[in-house]
Amino acid sequence: MLEDKSPNLTPVSAYGEFGLIKHLTEHFSLENSSSQLGVGDDCAVIAPEGRQVVISTDILAEGVHFNLGYVPLKHLGYKAVAVNLSDIAAMNAKPTQILVAVAASNRFPVEAFEEIYAGIALACKHYQVDLVGGDTTSSNSGLVITITAVGMENKEKIVSRSGAQPNDLLVVTGDLGGAYLGLQILEREHSVFLANPNMQPEMDGYDYILQRQLKPEARTDIKTILAELEIHPTAMIDVSDGLSSETLHLSDQSKVGFRIYEEKIPLDSLTISTAEELNLNPVMCALNGGEDYELLFTIAPADFDKIKNHPDFTIIGHAVDLEQGNYLVARGSNELVELNAQGWDAYLKSKRG
Residues 310-325: what's their mean pLDDT? 98
Residue 343 has pLDDT above 70, yes or no: no
- pLDDT over 90 (residue 45): yes
CATH number of 12-157: 3.30.1330.10
60 pairs with which residues across the strands?
145
Q: Which of 73, 59, 79 is nearest to 116 (CA)?
A: 73
Cβ-based neighbour number of residue 189 at 10 Å: 19
For residue 38, what pLDDT band results from cuts at 50, 70 and 90? confident
Residue 209's nearest CA partner among 119, 264, 262, 269 is: 269
For the residues 178-188, what does the mean pLDDT come to?
96
Q: CA-CA distance, 291 to 210, in Å (whole number)?
A: 12
| Confidence at residue 133, expressed as pLDDT on a 0 to 100 scale | 93
Asked whether residue 299 carries a pLDDT value surpassing 60, the answer given is: yes
How many Cβ atoms sit within 10 Å of the Cβ of residue 337? 13
Whether the Cβ atoms of residue 37 and residue 99 lie closer than 8 Å to each other: no
Task: Look at residue 349 in the predicted model and tell me its pLDDT.
Answer: 46
d(CA 257, CA 323): 7
Cα separation values, 177 from 52, 86, 111, 174, Å = 33, 17, 34, 10
- Write the class of the CATH domain 169-352: alpha beta
Instruction: Tell whether the model's pLDDT for residue 107 goes beyond 70.
Output: yes
Q: What is the pLDDT of residue 26?
A: 84
Is the pLDDT assigned to residue 4 strictly greater than 80? no
Mean model confidence pLDDT for the chain: 92
- 51-77 confidence digits (pLDDT tens): 999 999 999 999 889 999 999 999 999
Question: For the CA atoms of 16, 122, 240, 287, what is the dihedral angle to 10 degrees?
Answer: -140
- The tens digit of pLDDT for each residue in 254-272 reads 999 999 999 999 999 999 9
Task: Please answer whether residues 171 and 299 qualify as being in contact, where contact means their C-beta atoms are separated by less than 8 angstroms.
Answer: yes
Q: Strands 130-138, 94-104: parallel, antiparallel or unpaired by DSSP?
A: parallel
Give residue limits of the domains in the chain: 12-157, 169-352
